[in-house]
Amino acid sequence: MSFTVAIDGPAAAGKGTISKAVASHFGFAHLDTGLLYRAVGAKVIHGMDPLQAARTLTPRDLEADDLRTSAVAQMASKVAVIGEVRGALVAFQRSFAARDGGAVLDGRDIGTVICPDADAKLFVTASAETRAERRFKELQARGQADTFDQVLADVKARDARDAGRTEAPMVAAGDAVLLDTSEMSIDDAVAAAIKAIESSRSGGL
């Protein structure tokens, strides 16, 4: 039997960490759908047409070493506004979501577009400053030279692009549980997510 968990939210809100922990807790498969767009973005940076990159995407592309750079993140946000690119990736995501044994998908339009009938939906968010600080520390740990001000500007620009796009804008589903992690530890955030999913899971797996 399938059980689908949709976790949406902006960059660096903690949804990836929460999604992995939730998947591990319940024994569900996990898909970071942002990696799909990052992998397409990386191919575009290397000279490929965005639509061709999306149509030829393979699971192996999701393992590339350069998918966490700022340049790829910005390009991922840019290609994500292209309707044809999003369409090319929908089938991949929906197939994953319907797999037996349960699945957790995190992204920006999972609960609204990809899996509007998901069994549980969360929207994970945090203030732009909090998210920029988290991303800045990640980049520093990788030896990348962005300044905090640049990271904050990038976060705000990406938020505006993701929320303002015509095709599948980032917005919380009407029935999603809102989880603001600005003042939460990761353990508290994971516990809150698990509690929300368990309350939706009655009669599920």
Binding site members for ATP:
9-17
143-146 contacts, C-beta under 8 A, 24 or more apart: 144/69, 144/70, 146/70
Structure tokens at 136: 């800045």
Binding residues: 9-17
**CA triple 196-28-115, angle to 5 deg:** 65
Of 173, 134, 168, give the one whose Cα is nearest residue 154: 134
Terminal Cα-to-Cα distance of the chain (whole angstroms): 7
